[in-house]
Amino acid sequence: MPKLAPWQVSNTTFDWTRTYLMGVLNVTPDSFSDGGQFNTLERAIAQAHRMVADGVDILDIGGQSTRPDAETVTLEEELDRVVPVIEALRAGRGEFGPLAVPISVDTTRAVVADRAIAAGGNMVNDVSGGTYETDMLSTVARLGVPVFLMHLRGTPKTMQKMTDYDDLMGELWRVLSSRKLAATTAGIDPGLIGLDPGIGFAKTVEQNLEILQRSHEFQTLDCPILIGPSRKSFIGKILNQSDPMDRVWGTGAACAAAIAGGTQVLRVHDVAEMRQVTRLSDAIWRGGEKGS
């Protein structure tokens, strides 16, 4: 694997010597797996503290569902969902004290990114790769924070009709490379860019499997690679599990495959279970902690 520059995020150093877990916190009513579970301030705060106790490395907070066929919410609605949660996590609320864990904002909107970072966020996770809004990359550059840029065709409403590729891995590599170039051209430090091939976004079951089988090829992009297979429909189709909540162990297998391919960050819902997966997988493939 390439030697990647560490990320210093607040008091946390990401040195890329092990696999890091990004915990999904959707403060939405309509996300595919956990929509409506954490869309009140109290429930979102409790879930964030639960994930930190389970060993999460990054909290990824999103106020816009990106499930297939999702409707786009207004800017005001997304801000109202995301910013108060970040502020409450940093300040503490009720029985819960303040959290210091790095917080990512999952958004395609520059204004949401800006205000989320001002509220106490630390990085941006943009599923559009910075393509939905022309000022997203310049905003991230001004903020001086890390960013994850994902491959996506179309929008959540259209993406699953856009799965024809002449060369899947070739296109993913080229698009991600071009997004990295666009980010650096906009002024983002190349050492603060992460890339995501977009499992489940404009991809078929077979294409998602190919990404996992060949994920090592993304290491030549010389950026931390994020993969988010958690509870996704391709796992359900293979395992005949229609309920996303029943896809935990399938998710674990996908995460182990991604780690074998060198992936640095995994975006997951089930932090406690995936922490076990990452620790054992790191011990196998990365010479990580073996335990006593």
What residues act catalytically? 232, 267
Q: How far apart are CA 164 and CA 162, in angstroms?
A: 6
Q: And the tokens for 53?
A: 């106790």
CB 156 within 8 A of CB 67: yes
**3-class DSSP state of 104:** strand
Q: How far apart are CA 228 and CA 207, in angstroms?
A: 14
Q: Is 154 left (phi over 0), alpha (psi -120 to 50) or beta?
A: left
Q: How far apart are CA 135 and CA 188, in angstroms?
A: 12
Q: How far apart are CA 96 and CA 93, in angstroms?
A: 5
With both helix axes pointing from N to C terminus, report the angle between 110-118 and 75-91 in degrees, rounded to the nearest 10.
Answer: 20
What stretches of the chain adopt beta strand conformation (E)?
7-9, 12-14, 20-26, 58-62, 103-106, 123-126, 147-150, 193-196, 226-227, 265-268
Q: Indicate the residue type of 65.
A: S
For residue 215, which of 267, 255, 180 has the smallest C-alpha distance? 255
CB 189 within 8 A of CB 153: no
Contacts of 206 (CB under 8 A, 6+ apart): none
